[in-house]
Amino acid sequence: MGSDTQTVAGGRTIDKDALLAKYIAERDKRLRPDGNDQYLELKGQLSHYLEDPYTPRVERDPRTDHVTFAFIGGGFAGLVTGARLVEAGVNDVRIIEKGGDFGGTWYWNRYPGAQCDTASMIYMPLLEETGHMPSEKYAHAPEILEQCQRIGRQYGLYDNALFHTEVEDLSWDEAKSRWVIRTNRGDAFTASFIGLGTGPLHVPKLPGIPGIDTFKGHSFHTSRWDYDYTGGDPSGAPLEKLADKRVAIIGTGATSVQAVPHLARACQTLYVVQRTPSSVDVRANAPIDPDWFSQIATPGWQQRWLENFTANQGGSITEEDLVMDGWTDLSRRIRSKINELPPEQRTPRNMLAAFEDSDFEKMDEIRARVDSIVQDGETAQKLKAWYRQLCKRPCFHDAYLQAFNAPGTHLIDTDGQGVERITEKGFVVAGVEYEVDCIIYASGFEVGTEYTRRAGFDLTGRGGLKLSQAWGEGMKSLHGIHVRDFPNAFFVQPTQGANLISNIPHNLTESGRTIAMTVRHALDVGAKEVEVTPEAQAAWVDLLLTGMGRMLGAPDCTPGYYNNEGQDPGPAAALNVGYPQGASAFFKYIDGWRTSGAFEGLTFR
């Protein structure tokens, strides 16, 4: 066999050069000069798309008091940091959240079928602490939202929380060594310490399709699902009000993949409007057996599971794979390809080639799966993803492809070009107008826009320095948490830390623990200020740059938010990386760092 062919499961032969050429041709079709600017910011006439359909806003008096710790964002980051602070004896924690309750992404995303794509046992935070057993291997959204509320209740985080409140300004008061927080509800209070955990995907965006504001029917974004219009509820009750409706869902990313089966069952006619197909692998969800759970849930169980998953992801050969999902499967395949090489041939180049081969094989399986499920040959062809698996967010579902076999469900493939126009009555693709009663935008969230635009505020640190200036040439931090000139501020997010993308909550729970121990230490030694030294920050950034670089979204990938919509992300993107030795090594390192009590690189004064 020639070096450019590969035989995969089912006896199919892949011509690698032809496949790569197809990938590039499909990518080129989708490249467009406007990149992130193709999307619309939801302001002015479009701001109604942001309204909260779930919780009425309650009037309250502005706060002008002082708290020990204020946290911006009431999702997983704020909840786990708040919980760890309370465990450390810091009780006046105030969480500020733009939604009407805790939950973050799980507060907003209540679309039918929403569920986690990473196994609940490791995805849902603080399961052991709260004594909750997930009901399914991949829990549905209402259960995850309940877990957020459970954490809020158990740690008393509701008492001091400010919901439906957006921070507008955060400034360091040099004289008093504290932060001043101003919000859109007239609050102007102070905090000794602040935490920031606003998450990467929380500002919905709409596609900039000409005529989008002319549609006379009903429309909404998936993160503001209008159950009054559709009927049904987030736990999957039938969307009975759609029985006589013609509905279009625009977008076929992870959200659409989960919502489409529910819409297909309910709508008189459903148009699924596709620009780029998702790769949709097997889900294999299953209930969790309480007997099994009671046997494995011995003290420390969730930490063991977290570490096991991360180790399997990182390519280390552990005794067992507890989670057994699409992520660990991918790592297993890469490992076995590398193991096929004689030890002396395990060079970085050969290892990358092994990685590529396992990807070709995986994507071939995913495309073959489409043929085995979708009855109409032409539709099946259009649903096939022609790119490497980590070019776009991989999806997993056992009812999405099947939905295209329902007589009322139609795939409207735009051949990579997107919707041409929206009219008063519907939408136009390739010159054909489709009349609909409702358009649902499954068009995702802002990622590549300015941090300040997404957060709604800038931070003003020491000497009036803005965070946007400090990070003007890219993010600079120690451990992804501490930033020079922004004393007593802690960032809770994965970049420049473990950067474990396959299980974001693991990054957050570890950061929460680190921050709580740091704050506890500051309080114990009577320090009013905690700050990273310039040397420690510079050394950390230098260390990060010794790594392999970014794993997700190579420039030759089909455009999407993983690769800045196919545009050069600029030199700053080189800093959006994690610890060079990988996530497991980072977690081990950070545990040693914080438990040593030395907090090396920080000054306490």
Site residues (CB under 6 A) for ligand NDP? 30, 115-117, 201, 207, 209, 250-256, 258, 273, 275-276, 393, 414, 418-419, 442-445, 560-561
CB of residue 413 vs ligand NDP: minimum separation in angstroms?
10
Hey, what are 375's tokens? 């009855």
CB of residue 438 vs ligand NDP: minimum separation in angstroms?
16
- In sequence order, what are the residues at sequence separation of 6 or more whose Cβ sits closer than 8 angstroms to the Cβ of residue 567? 35, 36, 448
Determine the Cα–Cα distance for residues 280 and 259; give it in Å rounded to an integer: 14
The answer to whether 256 touches 449, Cβ cutoff 8 Å, is no
The answer to whether 270 touches 264, Cβ cutoff 8 Å, is yes
Q: Which is nearer to ligand NDP, 256 or 514 (CB)?
A: 256
Q: Which is nearer to ligand NDP, 256 or 584 (CB)?
A: 256
Q: Which is nearer to ligand NDP, 243 or 432 (CB)?
A: 432
**What does residue 204 show for φ and ψ, rounded to 5 degrees?**
-60, 150
Q: Which is nearer to ligand NDP, 276 or 514 (CB)?
A: 276
CB of residue 403 vs ligand NDP: minimum separation in angstroms?
15
Q: Which is nearer to ligand NDP, 81 or 256 (CB)?
A: 256
Which among 252, 248, 220, 203 has a CA at the least distance from the CA of 421?
248
**What does residue 31 show for φ and ψ, rounded to 5 degrees?**
-65, 135
The answer to whether 573 touches 579, Cβ cutoff 8 Å, is no
CB of residue 330 vs ligand NDP: minimum separation in angstroms?
16
CB of residue 568 vs ligand NDP: minimum separation in angstroms?
18
Q: Which is nearer to ligand NDP, 53 or 580 (CB)?
A: 53
Determine the Cα–Cα distance for residues 68 and 523; give it in Å rounded to an integer: 10
The answer to whether 129 touches 241, Cβ cutoff 8 Å, is no
CB-facing half-sphere around the CA of 520: CA atoms within 13 A: 20
Determine the Cα–Cα distance for residues 210 and 91; give it in Å rounded to an integer: 51
563-572 CB contacts, 8 Å cutoff, 24+ apart: 563/391, 564/35, 564/36, 564/448, 565/32, 565/35, 565/36, 565/38, 565/448, 566/27, 566/30, 566/31, 566/32, 566/35, 567/35, 567/36, 567/448, 569/448, 571/473, 571/474, 572/471, 572/473, 572/474, 572/475
Q: Which is nearer to ligand NDP, 38 or 581 (CB)?
A: 38
Residue 554 amino acid letter: A
CB of residue 411 vs ligand NDP: minimum separation in angstroms?
12
CB of residue 592 vs ligand NDP: minimum separation in angstroms?
31
The answer to whether 6 touches 14, Cβ cutoff 8 Å, is yes
Q: Which is nearer to ligand NDP, 492 or 536 (CB)?
A: 492
Q: Which is nearer to ligand NDP, 419 or 455 (CB)?
A: 419
CB of residue 149 vs ligand NDP: minimum separation in angstroms?
19
Q: Which is nearer to ligand NDP, 250 or 577 (CB)?
A: 250
CB of residue 384 vs ligand NDP: minimum separation in angstroms?
14
- In sequence order, what are the residues at sequence separation of 6 or more whose Cβ sits closer than 8 angstroms to the Cβ of residue 221? 49, 204, 206, 440, 441, 443
Give the torsion through C-alpha atoms of 395, 396, 401, 406, to 10 deg: -110
Q: Which is nearer to ligand NDP, 113 or 232 (CB)?
A: 113
Q: Which is nearer to ligand NDP, 251 or 487 (CB)?
A: 251
Task: For tokens 């959240």, name the residue.
Answer: 97
CB of residue 422 vs ligand NDP: minimum separation in angstroms?
10
Helices 326-339 and 348-373, axial angle in degrees (round to 10):
130
Which among 185, 221, 214 has a CA at the least distance from the CA of 50?
221
Rg over CA atoms, the chain: 24
Residue 138 amino acid letter: Y
